[in-house]
Structure 1
Amino acid sequence: MKPFRKLINQLLVSLAIVGATSVITDTAKAETITGQLGNIRAEISFDKPEEYQYKNVRLQIIRAGKTVLDQKLSQENEYDKPIGGLFTDKIPVLNLDGDKEPEVIADFFTGGAHCCVYSLIYRYDRTSGQYKSMRQEWGNGGYRLQDLDKDGIPEFDSRDDRFAYAFTSYAASAYPLQIWQYRQGKMVDVTRRYPKLIANHASELWKEYNKIKQQDDGKGFLAAYLADKYLLGQGQDGWRRVQQVYRKSDKAQYFAQLRKFLRETGYAK
């Protein structure tokens, strides 16, 4: 009987260990997102103890088999979700500024009903042999990487998220076009270099305003439209059209608020 009891005890201990291991695995699942271009490889690893929690987020960048950066990334809260790229499950590793040295983009979503996306962009500094980073806030809208001028270098096609809630609810807000280029560690607003895209965007905003004006006052769409017109150097014409169509009782207050906002955000002087 003693050998049998010993065997039972060993089995119970083994089951306890397996059970404990299972609990640990279920409550803290380790995951990894990767991306690669040539001999540059990026990896983001993190633990996922709960469905919407992300902890121990760590970024590694490997160059020709050598780990050059191994860094635990700070999080504003445990709901900051590493998402790879916005439209792919891989980390974007690509040349953003034409210097033949790939950058690494780590995108994060902060959680919530409709907010927010930000990017950590890493560039390699040959002098120090290290990676340096910057953070770009995208708000609700995110971005799309597109080579808009066909020069082989992508632009960040986005929108000005400062217009969210500025004049109306989030659902009724609209946004002017915003285009960025990454240049040696800095993001440069180059929206005004693309007048055709701005004009098309303004035209779409005007059409949308006319579609919804019977159900909504359209303040959000008119504000974004006027901002686009300022980007085109057509602020006076934009004001003329906005003042013609918006005739509600709060027009004086709305126009004053709109002028102030456009000055504060740099669209008007």
Structure 2
Amino acid sequence: MYKFIRQALISVAVVSITTLANQPSRAEVFTGQSGNVRAEISYEQSEEYQYKNVRLQIMRAGKKILDRTLPQDSEYDRPIGGLLTDNSNLPVLDLDGNKEPEVIADFFTGGAHCCLYSLIYKYGSKSQQYGQIQHKWGNGGYHLKDVDQDGIPEFVSQDDRFAYSFASYAASGYPLQIWQYRQGKMIDVTRRYPQLIYNAAFQQWQTYLEAKKQGDDGKGFLASYLANKYMIGQEKDGWQRVQQVYKQSDRTQFFADLRKFLRETGYIK
């Protein structure tokens, strides 16, 4: 699933960038609406792969509440529509269950493997203004899904810290990550969904077996598999299986490096 997400996001961004690069500078607009809240992002492409005047406007019941230039980590950061949805749509939806829609501005930084981040805007009833946070997704991005079926979507993603840690990008595996947006913050709630983690671990193990058939040592997928096993309290079983299958000459160093990495990234508490 996660490889599909990465490929889809990269394909959408690369195709869009290539198309724009062959056209003269012009304004592009994304719009979205929920109830009486309407949002619009506009931007210009001044030169090839360079974007400027990225501007967000948010209207409430016809009144303009926010009109500002959005911060970009660099001039190459391109605003995109909702990830894995209609790329012309700007996500405007209730992320925390308070009946007040938030606005998500997604950016792609360019390049073959990196990166995506989101600016999330929340309306404050007391201040009557919008506050903003940034969340970085790395290579994988996210998709919105109501995982627990409570009417509020979660951000389903992956732990991008595993990219290149034990293998090349293509041979890296990624543990499941699930985030909720609550009280203006992103909260990692992955461990609340043990069945989904178990499914992710199973998928990583299957991917490892396929990689092994193709002559890869599979370290990147074994690392992700073991991280998922730690999250559901099955680390003993996970280590036994990893140690049984990985017989390369660097196994002692790999196991030591893996244990150290899992501790540094918080999987080993």
Question: Please, what TM-score do these two structures have when normalized by structure 1?
Answer: 0.89
- Letter aligned with residue 137 of structure 1: K
Report deviation, 1:74: 1.8
- Letter aligned with residue 29 of structure 1: R
Looking at structure 1, the residues matched to 235 and 68 of structure 2 have their Cα atoms a distance apart, in angstroms, of: 47
Higher RCO (Cα < 8 Å, 6 or more apart): 2
Report deviation, 1:43: 0.7
Report deviation, 1:173: 0.3
Q: In terms of Rg, which structure is larger?
A: 1
Q: 1:47-74: CA deviations, max 9, x gaps? A: 1123422111111111111111111112
Structure-1 residue corresponding to 2:50:
53
Report deviation, 1:28: 2.7
Looking at structure 2, the residues matched to 35 and 244 of structure 1 have their Cα atoms a distance apart, in angstroms, of: 52
Report deviation, 1:242: 0.5
Equivalences for residues 1-269 of structure 1 within 5 A: 27-87=24-84, 88=86, 89-214=88-213, 215-269=215-269
Point out 4+ residue stretches in structure 1 off by more than 6 angstroms. none
- Letter aligned with residue 73 of structure 1: L
Report deviation, 1:114: 1.5
Secondary structure of residue in 2 paired with 1:237: helix
Looking at structure 2, the residues matched to 208 and 29 of structure 1 have their Cα atoms a distance apart, in angstroms, of: 43
- Letter aligned with residue 40 of structure 1: V
Identical amino acids, percent of aligned pairs: 68
Report deviation, 1:27: 4.1
Moved more, 150-159 or 70-79: 70-79
CA RMSD of aligned residues (A): 1.0
- Letter aligned with residue 219 of structure 1: K
Question: Please, what TM-score do these two structures have when normalized by structure 2?
Answer: 0.89
Number of residues of Structure 1 aligned to a counterpart in Structure 2: 244
Report deviation, 1:38: 1.0
